[in-house]
Amino acid sequence: MSPKQTSEITIKAPSLQTVEIEIEGISEYVQHRFPEKARRQMHEKHEAGDKAKSKNKRESRDFDADFHAATYHMEGGGYGIPCAAFRAAMISACRSAGFVMTRAKQGIVWTEPDGRSTPDGTALVRITKGEPEYFEMYARNDNGSIDLRVRPRWAPGWTAVVRIKFDSDMIDAQSIANLLMRAGMQVGIGEGRNDSKNSCGQGWGFFQIKERKSDEQQQG
């Protein structure tokens, strides 16, 4: 009998690069962070079990507190946009770019954080220009009743610098920039974006690219 033949499989390490892209909002950006108070109340309700079924008195509503609770505050000051929002928008934009979404989901692109939110530690991209304004709107609850929602809103012209790490064996820097551009012009980020699964969108969260820097440019 001939000896059993074996084959050797060689896996190349990913060739990771980073591109830094400055973006500018061409429509308002509206965000919604899940309130810490609501999370705490849910925790207490689950912890109480059957005791939580008793009706509680409705507390008076602090709209200013709702506004701050819905805002992503960065540790050390400033405001941010969840890194996941940009990655999700780019993955969604793959549909219009003819790129296989599952490949993007496998980790071709990552958005690097500038910091974390307080108190939940969400990875954030810093908003470098613009301040949030109080924005109140009505919305319809699942039971059909109408309620008020309070959100932070940034006027068009807000800016951020998005640092995207990618595997250059699978996609190049120019394609990353083009994909982010499609995400900004066709998908959007935050509340009221056109790509929202819960509505047809309000035309919010659109952005354009101002400048792009590669690894080589940043080192030079």
DSSP string across 23-81: EEESS-EE--PPPHHHHHHHHHHHHHGGGGGSPPPPPPP-HHHHHHHTS-BBTTS-BEE
The residues spanned by each domain of the chain are 16-32+62-219
Instruction: Tell me the per-residue pLDDT of 17-33, one tens digit each, with 9 for 90 and over.
Output: 999 999 999 999 999 99
Q: What is the pLDDT of residues 184-204, one digit of tens each?
A: 999 999 999 988 877 777 899
Q: What is the spatial distance between Cα 143 and Cα 124, in angstroms, rounded to a whole number?
A: 33
123 phi, psi to nearest 5 deg? -70, 130
What is each CA distance from 137 to 70, 116, 150, 151, 165, in whole angstroms? 14, 28, 7, 8, 37
- For the entire predicted model, the pTM comes to 0.82
Sign of torsion over alpha carbons 183, 89, 176, 156: positive
Euclidean distance between CA atoms 179 and 187, whole angstroms: 11
Residue range 129-175, pLDDT digits in tens: 999 999 998 877 777 788 888 999 999 999 999 999 998 988 899 99
